[in-house]
Every structure is written in C-alpha cells, then in structure tokens.
Amino acid sequence: MGGVDKHALAVRLKEIFDKDVQAGRQPYRRAMQAGLDEDVVTRILNGRRIPSASTLDTLLNGVLIADKERAELQAIRSSVVRLFKAQQGEGAVARREPSYVPKAGQPDPIGISNPLELQQALQAVHVWGGRPSLRKLERRSDGVLRRSTVSDMLRGQPTVPDYDRYLAFLGACGVDNTSLDAWVYTWRRLSAQKQPKITSWMGGMTSA
C-alpha cells in the first residue's frame, strides 16, 4: 500500500458503484437510505473527501463485494489517510490555533432522552468550548463541518445529527476522545429510538 495515491480509494469505489449500477442494483439509493448525505457520497466518489472508517463501511454495505475486498478497501483508506497527513505536514499543525478547554463543567450527555435535549446539550458544549465561531469550527474540523451545518445543528429543527459531523463538532469544541464514548452512546441510543425493533439487538439500549 506504500505507493497508493490520495485518489486510489475514490477510483476503486467509483468502479464498484458503477459495476453495481450496471448490474441493476441501486448503490446510491442504498447509501441515501443508510443515512448518508448525497453531497458527501458524491465528494467521496470524486476523491474530494476521505471517508471515515464507519462511513466507508456504510457505503460498502450497499454494494456487492467480498469480505476480502472490503478489508482491502479499508486498508487503502488507512493508507490514503496516512498519505494525506504526511502531505499536510507541519503546515497543517501550524494552522490549528491552540485552544484551552477546561475539563471542569463539561456537559454530560447521559441523561439526554430526545433530539431537543441533544440540541440543547450541543449548544452547551459550544459555550463550554469557548463559543468558537462557525469559521473556526469549519477550520478545526478540516472541512467536515460547514457553517450552515453547524448553524442547523445548533439552531435548526431538533434532530439527531449526521454521525461524522456530530463527532467533528464535539472534537472541534474540545471534547476529548475519553469523553466521546458517552456522546457516541447517546447518539446510538437516540438513533435506535427511531427503529424500536432493533433496540433489543443493541446492548444497553432501550426505546423511549
């Protein structure tokens, strides 16, 4: 994988998606049904966005491939991420402004029971993190967050946000990896409430 370039994953994914389309399957529709944004899928297949491991898994769940090929694609993704970080080098680190976020007073998501409470908790995280501007959040998330996305997340119709953007927002506000577990659990629990029949398959989850 050492010689992989940053477009290698996009090229392979596009080939797989096109093959599925020619076979009469509907990989794009399946990706939408799985909760992926159409623009996100387009950017990944065009090589303008590197998917997270979980997003790549979601994409691959909608196409017909063998487990070996799935593992190979995840390995390519990892190589592309390493290459991207290497190309960014010290310049990328320099562009990230240092920010001090105290541990004390960090909002606790465990008691959240609905999307409205989640939105209020995210607003609290924004304040706790120093109320960074939409521009700063966009920059800190390496473009995963858009200003309009953050605005909708904090002030729009209460809903469970897109998973990758949700994590990007929390990270951009200073929530560390240790604290993320509770937020991930809360996201999964609220998402499971939309499909009560699946909660019995998810340990510790209960529908509202």
Q: Residue 32 to residues 29, 62, 169, 170, 192: CA-CA distances in angstroms?
A: 5, 10, 22, 24, 18
Q: Quick check: 10 pLDDT over 90?
A: no
Q: What pLDDT, in 10s, does the model give residues 14-65? A: 899 989 888 888 988 888 888 888 888 888 888 888 888 888 888 898 888 8
Host H or E run for residue 106: none
If pLDDT is split at 50, 70 and 90, which confidence band does 149 have?
Answer: confident
Give the pLDDT of residue 208. Answer: 43
3-state secondary structure of 174: coil
Q: Quick check: 103 pLDDT over 70?
A: no
Residue with more model confidence, 202 or 125: 125
Alpha carbons 82 and 25: distance in angstroms, whole number:
33
Give the pLDDT of residue 205. Answer: 55
If pLDDT is split at 50, 70 and 90, which confidence band does 176 have?
Answer: confident
Predicted TM-score (pTM) of this structure: 0.51
At how many degrees (to 10) do helices 115-128 and 147-155 cross?
A: 120
